[in-house]
Structure 1
Amino acid sequence: MTNPSFEFSRAVTRRPSASIINGLRAEDIGTPDLDQMLADHAHYVATLKETGAEVIELPPLEAYPDAVFVEDTALCLPQGAVMMRPGAPSRMGEVAEMEPALRAVYEDIRQISGPGHIEGGDILVTGREVLVGRSDRTDAAGVAELAGILADWGHSLREVFTPPGVLHFKTDCSLLDADTILSTKRLEASGCFEGYNVLHVADGEEAAANSIRFNQYVICPAGFPRTAEMLSNAGYDVVQINNSECSKLDGGMSCLSLRF
């Protein structure tokens, strides 16, 4: 039996657009280089395809600078997809742009209708539950509306809290297998992962926490050698992908795909 938390047959990605230089960011650490981002994105897509998965590659959306970060628009589960309601006003329109691609592969599509907000970057699906982190982009009403939808599909949702100053819950954690989570020490200290095996990213390498387990690979941002070595020593097949440009927009490995 496959494990829907990390074994996938499909992914959806979207090419970065030239408008990416206007993307949202918590602090300005430089303007993204589009050519470098396109090269990194191509490496990311190729790595997903190497696992045998089908990658649905969507065209750039000039009107939405952050549209490369497709994960925030939807939650994809075996039973169906839930269209999110982003907390950033400039990103609301991305959801309608994503919906046709998901309708082509899913029969059951649900909507977060509001008034609450929720983004996919705050949702971690493990082997036993769906963890949702409250953040600046995900509020109590959004979490409650998602909980009602997931109950219909037999999933339990547990609300947790993202540390102050951290954009999304998955900025600081990722799933390595059904029961193992890669986390920053500050996030695990909140107690949200009790009962799981937790591996910590190396001190000073907190940004490595936003990785993804996709079939046989753990796909990590490059430039965090101690964390990559720790994961390799723990038996994971690590692929490192440059993330210098996405990181300028608070983006990481999970943000760049919808996986199902």
Structure 2
Amino acid sequence: MFSKAIVRTPSRSMGRGITEAGLGCPNMDMALAQHKNYTNYLKNAGIHVTELAPVEEYPDSVFVEDTAVMIPFSGGTAVFLTCPGAAPRRGEVEAISAAVSAYTEETIRMEGDGLMEGGDVLLMGRTFYVGIDTRTNRSGYEQFASAAKRFGLTAVPVPFDRGMPHLKTELSALDAETLIMSRRFAEREEFAGFRKIIIPEGESYSANCLYLGEKLLAPAGFPATAEMLDKNGFTPDFIEMSEFRKMDGGLTCLSLRW
């Protein structure tokens, strides 16, 4: 499903990043170890991983997914460079642009008043589902939808009320036909065609899983979700994400994949 990925080593300033989790400051030694385990998992899955150096002036820069969205097409991959809705993060886009553009056939940049973070964008088949919230606005969605259309893909807006950082905070893919999600999305018309697995009460963090085609990665420490996945025929690998959870970050946030 993916052959390449970009990750960035966490900066020692990560604890000064944006978070509403209320779980305290991350232990950076643990964060670095967890990030290394994550990177090694991608490599062991057969993915060529480009590892970027930390950027201390941007505490949230480890969450590279928010800076760009990869658009696959028959001739390769285009990259859409975002403009994060969280103003302190906007410099992260320029910090990663050269690395991403080196691997892609075309680079498109957000313009004007458009805002978007990649954590609001979920690709299922040939359709992007784009959360519209405090981090991604309507102008950002429309610019992205226009870019996706150029390459033969469609985009569907998914507006939602505040209460989580991104769409994929509580919604992600388990395979090509199945979504794991919080109850707030269970009856949404946008996802009517998918098989849905609703996460257990109190385990909302476990809704952010990473589907890699042959492999599925889920956050460790959520026993009710693990049991539910098993009962539904899924056998994910589990990885500890405690220090990134403190910063509102999940499994998809830590890499750009294509």
- The normalised TM-score by structure 1 is 0.94
1:76 equivalent in structure 2: 70
Equivalent AA in structure 1 for residue 28 of structure 2: L
Mapping 1:46-61, distance limit 5 Å: 46-61=40-55
2:39 to 35, 42, 45: 45
Unpaired segments ≥5 residues, structure 2? none
Mapping 1:151-230, distance limit 5 Å: 151-230=149-228
Give me the whole-angstrom Cα distance separating, in 2, the residues matched to 1:77 and 1:228: 31
Give me the whole-angstrom Cα distance separating, in 2, the residues matched to 1:114 and 1:121: 20
Equivalent AA in structure 2 for residue 68 of structure 1: V
Structure 1 residue ranges, 4+ long, deviating more than 6 angstroms after superposition: none
RMSD of aligned residue pairs (Cα, Å): 1.3
2:114 is equivalent to residue 136 of structure 1: no
Distance 1:184 1:164, change over 3 A: same
Deviations 1:4-25 (A, max 9, x none): xxx1001110000101010111
Equivalent AA in structure 2 for residue 95 of structure 1: V
1:17 equivalent in structure 2: 11
Identity among equivalent positions (%) equals 39
Give me the whole-angstrom Cα distance separating, in 2, the residues matched to 1:127 and 1:199: 18
1:98 to 82, 96, 99: 96
Deviations 1:152-207 (A, max 9, x none): 11111000123431110000110112221111111223333111111111222111
Equivalent AA in structure 2 for residue 19 of structure 1: S
Note the C-alpha offset of 1:101: 0.9
1:252 equivalent in structure 2: 250
Give me the whole-angstrom Cα distance separating, in 1, the residues matched to 2:241 and 2:145: 32
Give me the whole-angstrom Cα distance separating, in 2, the residues matched to 1:86 and 1:49: 28
1:67 equivalent in structure 2: 61
Deviations 1:28-71 (A, max 9, x none): 32011100101110111111111111011111010100000000
Deviations 1:110-157 (A, max 9, x none): 111131101100000001411001111001111011111111111110
Give me the whole-angstrom Cα distance separating, in 1, the residues matched to 2:195 and 2:44: 28
Number of residue pairs matched? 254
Give me the whole-angstrom Cα distance separating, in 2, the residues matched to 1:189 and 1:203: 17
2:24 to 18, 22, 30: 30
Give me the whole-angstrom Cα distance separating, in 1, the residues matched to 2:173 and 2:161: 18
My pick for the range that moved more, 176-185 or 14-23, is 176-185
Unpaired segments ≥5 residues, structure 1? 1-6
Give me the whole-angstrom Cα distance separating, in 1, the residues matched to 2:214 and 2:229: 13
The question of whether the paired residues in 2 share the 8 Å contact of 1:129 and 1:157 is answered with yes
